[in-house]
Amino acid sequence: MKVKVDVSRLRKGMYVCELDRPWTETTFLLQGILIENADDIQQVSQFCEYVYVDSEKSYGDIQPHLRTLKQVDESHDSEGHAIANASKAADLEQSNFQKELKIGRKIHARARSFIDRALEDIRLGQSVNTAAAREVVSEIADSITRSPHAMVWLANIKDRDEYTSIHCMNVCIMAVSFGRSLGMEKAELEILGLGGLLHDLGKICVPLEILNKPGKLTFDEFEIMKTHPMEGFRILEQQGDVPLDVLDIVKHHHERRNGKGYPSQLTGEEINHLTRIVAIVDVYDAITSDRCYHDAITPYDALKNMYDWINEDFDKEIIEKFIKCLGIYPIGCVVELNMGHVGIIVSASEKSKLRPIVLLILNSKKEVFPHPKLINLAHPKWRTGAQKLEIKRILSKNEYDFNIKDIIESENII
């Protein structure tokens, strides 16, 4: 049972399940707050005038107090009021995404600059600026906290010729996003993100003719490629200022559940939990990116393949949570709508994963929009009637003729 409670009436033991505004307008990492002390009440009161309390998840001697308050009876809400609220929520979600996208572009540029500089520093025998790395990761974590999908949308920027630096950024972003969905605190998110950002720095020690070879590597070439985790570990360990969990991620992100990974052939629970997370994100970004030796597959196909690899490579529970985090329509998927429009998935709220925000690229006649259009399919105006829009199917990479990288980098979105 949900009970509407003025913030002045909050008590220890109450479980806040809903706010009077979207969670994205607050600093709360998770959607659900257990009131345990006066500080919790003060934090909620900074953002809200009233909240909804779940009586079943609340504890202690507060049930009599809840019964004195007016119970929320959603069945009596007028249809117009419900639609107005849904419209407001959908508009706000889209607005938050657009606002954070502007901020995220600057953070993304700083992250890219850091990685390029770090690779150059290693090439010159200098130390990696870990303070700068921490600052970049902290900004990424803050952005994802404000609006979960803006940075993930930018992580779909792919470049076949600059794979290593972009891949490091993308693994960082997606690892932090995944960690947030798992309920991690910011300190742990920053460790996870730092590991993702630095995980492939050892590739600077691999000869370019091997790193960029268009065909299959020979046995000897692959043995050299397999040295990059240890090389990255060695470089960062010598600095003495890199957290142990980050070093573990760098060293063991190619370990696999069945013990057939490298460099230590670890199995199952021998692999650190954070390292298992980065390993999954690492593979996902790799197979959804164009490389010199293979073309990218769609995000949907990538998740399907990775689920098939569970018994050999990955932790089943983590893979299932990763798939749940990305959703039925992962960000970056190209979809066709029922009216013939073609667009790219850019965001999806936890409550409306079947009706995400889509960036429309082609109109119903398959003509390119002069300005790509953002629409939130969760908005009531797209749910019914003559203008009802819904996703008809996911398209393969070969079914469209536009450059996703250029679209993502463009600020020409309305």
Per residue, the 3-state secondary structure of the chain, as one string, reads: CEEEEEHHHCCCCCEEEEECCCHHHCCCCCCCEECCCHHHHHHHHCCCCEEEEECCCCCCCCHHHHHCCCECCHHHCCHHHHHHHHHHHHHHHHHHHHHHHHHHHHHHHHHHHHHHHHHHHHHCCCCCCHHHHHHHHHHHHHHHHHCCCHHHHHCCCCCHHHHHHHHHHHHHHHHHHHHHHCCCCHHHHHHHHHHHHHCCHHHHHCCHHHHCCCCCCCHHHHHHHCCHHHHHHHHHHHHCCCCHHHHHHHHHCCCCCECCCCCCCCEHHHCCHHHHHHHHHHHHHHHCCCCCCCCCCCHHHHHHHHHHCCCCCCCHHHHHHHHHHHCCCCCCCEEEECCCCEEEEEECCCCCCCCCEEEEEECCCCCEEEEEEEEECCCHHHCCCCCCCCEEEECCHHHCCCCHHHHHHCCCCC
Residue with tokens 């240890």: 230
| pLDDT for the residue 72 | 45
Amino acid at 158: K
Backbone angles phi, psi at 213, to 5 degrees: -65, 125
* Torsion angle of the four alpha carbons 69, 70, 73, 76, in this order, in degrees rounded to the nearest 10: 180
pLDDT digits (tens, 9 = 90+) for 199-237: 999 999 999 999 989 888 999 999 999 999 999 999 999
Banded pLDDT at 37 (limits 50, 70, 90) = confident
Amino acid at 396: S
Is the pLDDT at 75 greater than 80? The verdict is no
Cα 369 from Cα 340, distance rounded (Å): 13
Q: How many residues does the chain have?
A: 414
Is the pLDDT at 80 greater than 70? The verdict is no
Banded pLDDT at 110 (limits 50, 70, 90) = very high
| pLDDT for the residue 103 | 94
| Structural domains in the chain, sorted by start | 2-76 (no CATH), 94-326 (1.10.3210.10), 334-409 (no CATH)
Is the pLDDT at 29 greater than 80? The verdict is no
| pLDDT for the residue 314 | 92
Is the pLDDT at 399 greater than 90? The verdict is no
| pLDDT for the residue 162 | 79
Cis bond leading into 263, ω under 30°? yes
Is the pLDDT at 397 greater than 80? The verdict is no
| pLDDT for the residue 32 | 84
First to last CA, the chain: 40
Return the closest-CA partner of residue 197 out of 306, 287, 119: 119
- pTM value? 0.78
Sequence-distant (≥ 6) Cβ neighbours of residue 260 within 8 angstroms: 312
| Mean pLDDT for the stretch of residues 127-146 | 95
Of the given ranges (93-97, 325-329, 384-388), which has the lowest mean pLDDT?
384-388
For residue 40, CA distances in Å to 49, 108, 186 come to: 14, 33, 17
Q: What share of the chain in percent tops pLDDT 90?
A: 56
For residue 393, CA distances in Å to 105, 160, 306, 351, 399 come to: 29, 27, 21, 20, 12
Is the pLDDT at 50 greater than 90? The verdict is no
For residue 84, CA distances in Å to 17, 32, 347, 386, 414 come to: 21, 24, 21, 19, 22
Is the pLDDT at 111 greater than 90? The verdict is yes
| pLDDT for the residue 114 | 95
Residue with tokens 């990059």: 228
Q: What share of the chain in percent tops pLDDT 70?
A: 95
For residue 272, CA distances in Å to 90, 252, 259, 307, 324 come to: 39, 8, 14, 20, 21
| pLDDT for the residue 73 | 42
**Angle, in degrees to the nearest 10, between helices 163-181 and 186-198:** 160
Cα 10 from Cα 140, distance rounded (Å): 33
Is the pLDDT at 273 greater than 70? The verdict is yes
Residue with tokens 């049972």: 1
Higher pLDDT, 307 or 402: 307
Beta bridge partners of 335: 343, 394
| Mean pLDDT for the stretch of residues 108-126 | 94
| pLDDT for the residue 76 | 42
Max mean pLDDT range (49-63, 73-87, 378-392): 378-392
pLDDT digits (tens, 9 = 90+) for 156-175: 888 776 788 999 999 999 99
| Mean pLDDT for the stretch of residues 241-254 | 97
Banded pLDDT at 69 (limits 50, 70, 90) = low
| Mean pLDDT for the stretch of residues 297-306 | 92
Average pLDDT, the chain: 88
